[in-house]
Structure 1
Amino acid sequence: MTILGRLFAVIGFIVVIGGVGSAVYFKDEIRAAQNLDPKAGSVYLDMMKTVLKTGNAAEATVWRVPLADGVSAADAETAMRSVANEYNIKNVGELPLSSEVEAITGKPHRLLKIYMFCDPLTAVRMLDFSDAFSAYLPCRVAMVEDKQGKAWLYTLNMDMMIHGGTTLPPELKAEAEKVRDTILAIMRRGAAGEF
């Protein structure tokens, strides 16, 4: 056997030993990962790609849609309220943060307004599954004017909640996916100004 052949044999041996050692050391984590929702891996992989690309963990946990050219903030707001009514999801509050900042400082501030939507029955079912879901309630859509003057709609990436852990019970998963799809419709149609 040549020196190169021996070197590859040693490297192969080290890799095998490392793999076996890792499997033994991380056996509990490996077993726990097997109980996650089948889409959990892709959800976390997408998040990691975004973190590596942007260096910003918050960017990895949100979805965003730009307002279409010619769509004003007022048009987007009206459209979002209309879509929420169409899908029978409650508008449970609004936080006009930029107006609050202006009132406190006396200076104009770029647009920042948060809209809160909720399907109360789905919300309590999610809470029955895990009290930690309360931190995600109600579903929020933020309208933000970026530093270049372009308006965007942001919301949390709900796939983390739906697919990021153990698989939700089928009925609850279907309800959560319906709420996710509704929030995305509110954002898409709001950004397009579609009433």
Structure 2
Amino acid sequence: MNKLLYILFLFMLLGNHSLFSQEVINGLVVTDTTKMKEIDPLTPAKAAFYSAILPGLGQAYNKKYWKIPIVYGAIGTSMYFYLDNNKKYHSYRDAYKRRLAGFNDDQYQYLDDSRLVQAQRFYQRNRDLSLLVTIGFYVLNIVDANVDAHLIQFNVSDKLSVAPDVYQNEFTAKPNIGLTLNYKF
């Protein structure tokens, strides 16, 4: 117990200057640059939730407004292809059904029955692929908002630097490649 009090007293005596975030030197207030900015752990989840509700809203929450047209362009383009392929699929399908019913007055009179079936399969496959791409862009929108909110909170300080370095080996006189990590206190 006595040892613990001695260590605490030493810590308070020697480390007193780092307990405060500001110091006054010659009438000037100097802020402590080592104090970290508070991180809100709910911010990435909130950005992802907003993007899930309305695509692009998470990007607006992160103040990355330039990404919103990209999100709507990607989702809108893939939705256009989904709707277009769906319309063509149903058009060929209805024509094939009418042929099977005995009518021969459809708009695809120049195609035989096997070509109508091939066209149905082609547009059905493209429609399904377009739906998967649309869902993929929607999920990518949510992931982008979440990752961007995480990276906003990432501490990028001038005190930390990583630099590649090429130096000469002392024994073989050949160049070696290395990586240096510098941290200024």
Q: What TM-score does the superposition give when structure 1 sets the normalisation length?
A: 0.25
Q: Which has the higher contact order (CA 8 A, sep 6+)?
A: 1
